[in-house]
Structure 1
Amino acid sequence: MRRRPAEALLIDFDGVLRQYDPDAYPGFEQRHGVAPSALLDSGLTWGRLLPAITGYWTRQQWLDEIAADTGASAEAVAEWDAYRGRIDGPVLEFVRAARAAGRKVALVTNATDDLRQDLARFGLEAEFDAVISSAELRTHKPTKEFFAAACQAVQTPPDRCLLVDDTDRHIRGARVAGLSAMRWSGPADLPYLRAALSL
């Protein structure tokens, strides 16, 4: 039997809608004696990442822990953190097309406590029907509680929701929770996603 089109889009932020350019830190290591990748790797260590994305640490506490772990100066960490990426234009147009066609769209992301500030920085506050932040929810992808809250926020049953995310573990967790899910690999995925939403 042919699967019915999804009625709601749940879209990830980092790695899907927001991208980070690898050449955004020219001369950083020479100036500070530490590579940007070392700061990122430290921040993504689960013992530091989990309290940051579940709201138990502020973003500044997370940054302080990265500095303590790597020995980076406060100036280096501040410069690293000042670059907040860029919004992928075709993905944003896809979000807008989905909403224009009557599909509910939620931003669903593991984020630190400053997500709303980032959305304001990029002028994205009005681009979604709902924003589901792990720091605000106090639970993270891919827990069933996170996905249940996301589906409730768009008032759509899980089997009518489509998650787009760039992390395999989140895709698997969403499917366990009853959602359709597709791992994002780049703009070449957009035609399939438009078809999945009957756009």
Structure 2
Amino acid sequence: MTRDRARALLIDFDGVLRRWDPAPMIAVEVKYGLKPAALLETAMAWDIYRPAMAGEISDAEWMELVAQRLPIDNAAEAVAEWQAYRGEPDPDALAFVRSVRAAGRKVGLATNATDRLRGDLEALGLTGELDVIVSSWEIKVHKPAPEYFTRACQIIGEQPKHVLFVDDDDRAVRGARAAGLSAYRWSGPQHVAYLRKALDLPE
């Protein structure tokens, strides 16, 4: 029995289509006397991160909670400076996305995100590079829940068996596979040839 070829691509944002240079963020932490990665670790605390990506609180409310937990007086100022840097597009992932769309396949962004997502996409020049956007904040469910992938496939207009999902997080990849999608863990451009084959694209 041959496996169904994927007809559409769902791709993750952070760690795949967007990359982060740690230097600007660490510079803010050093400036305000915080240990490196203190802001990130505080922001990713599950009790405040989950509602921010599940559409229960805004990005601004999330950052207020982060500031409240920092052991410095000017925490709000530090958080604002830290948030000013919004990453940059990964050129290899973007080239892959463009090649998939050039071949006539739909590409959707499938990401856990806050209400800042669309503004970030606009600022990074990525809005026009995608056919659909599946944001956890907007659909009120986050990866790796099976409901997330069901909704993502509905939005991109394909059955799960016809969708390839690419993410840098093993848990998300496993969740997608459990929901019936083909899924692959992104670790860089070295596997693009394989991913193109999964989408039945020419070499």
Which TM-score band (shorter chain)?
over 0.9
Instruction: Using the aligned pairs only, state the percent identity.
Output: 52
Corresponding pairs, count: 199
Query: For 2:34, what is the secondary structure of its paired residue?
Result: coil
The alignment status of 1:39 with 2:39, answered yes or no, reads yes
Change (3 A) 1:26 1:144: closer
Identify the residue that residue 17 of structure 2 maps to in structure 1: 17
Identify the residue that residue 85 of structure 1 maps to in structure 2: 87
1:20-40 Cα distance to aligned partner (Å, 9 max, x none): 012224643332011351111
Pick which of 64-73 and 174-183 moved more.
Answer: 64-73
Query: For 1:35, what is the secondary structure of its paired residue?
Result: coil
Contact 1:9–1:105, Cα closer than 8 Å, also in 2: yes
TM-score normalised by L of structure 2 = 0.93
Query: For 1:172, what is the secondary structure of its paired residue?
Result: helix
**Counterpart selection for 2:125 from 123, 126, 129:** 123
Pick which of 19-28 and 114-123 moved more.
Answer: 19-28
Unaligned runs of at least 5 residues, structure 1: none
**Counterpart selection for 1:132 from 128, 131, 134:** 134
Aligned partners of 1:30, 1:102: CA distance in 2, in Å? 47
Identify the residue that residue 68 of structure 2 maps to in structure 1: 68
Pick which of 103-112 and 68-77 moved more.
Answer: 68-77
The alignment status of 1:101 with 2:90, answered yes or no, reads no
Aligned partners of 1:90, 1:170: CA distance in 2, in Å? 21
Contact 1:52–1:135, Cα closer than 8 Å, also in 2: yes
Offset of residue 165 of structure 1: 0.4
Offset of residue 153 of structure 1: 1.1
Identify the residue that residue 59 of structure 1 maps to in structure 2: 59
Change (3 A) 1:170 1:16: same
Aligned partners of 1:26, 1:151: CA distance in 2, in Å? 37
Aligned partners of 2:157, 2:144: CA distance in 1, in Å? 19
Query: For 2:127, what is the secondary structure of its paired residue?
Result: coil
**Counterpart selection for 2:190 from 184, 188, 191:** 188
Contact 1:164–1:181, Cα closer than 8 Å, also in 2: yes
What is the identity, as a one-letter code, of the residue corresponding to 1:169? R
What is the identity, as a one-letter code, of the residue corresponding to 1:50? R
Aligned partners of 2:182, 2:30: CA distance in 1, in Å? 45
Contact 2:177–2:183, Cα closer than 8 Å, also in 1: yes
Report the aligned-residue RMSD: 1.4
TM-score normalised by L of structure 1 = 0.95
Aligned partners of 2:89, 2:55: CA distance in 1, in Å? 24
Query: For 2:107, what is the secondary structure of its paired residue?
Result: strand
Aligned partners of 2:26, 2:140: CA distance in 1, in Å? 36
Identify the residue that residue 158 of structure 1 maps to in structure 2: 160
Aligned partners of 2:141, 2:52: CA distance in 1, in Å? 11
Aligned partners of 2:89, 2:127: CA distance in 1, in Å? 13
Query: For 1:126, what is the secondary structure of its paired residue?
Result: helix
Identify the residue that residue 6 of structure 1 maps to in structure 2: 6
Aligned partners of 1:150, 1:26: CA distance in 2, in Å? 34
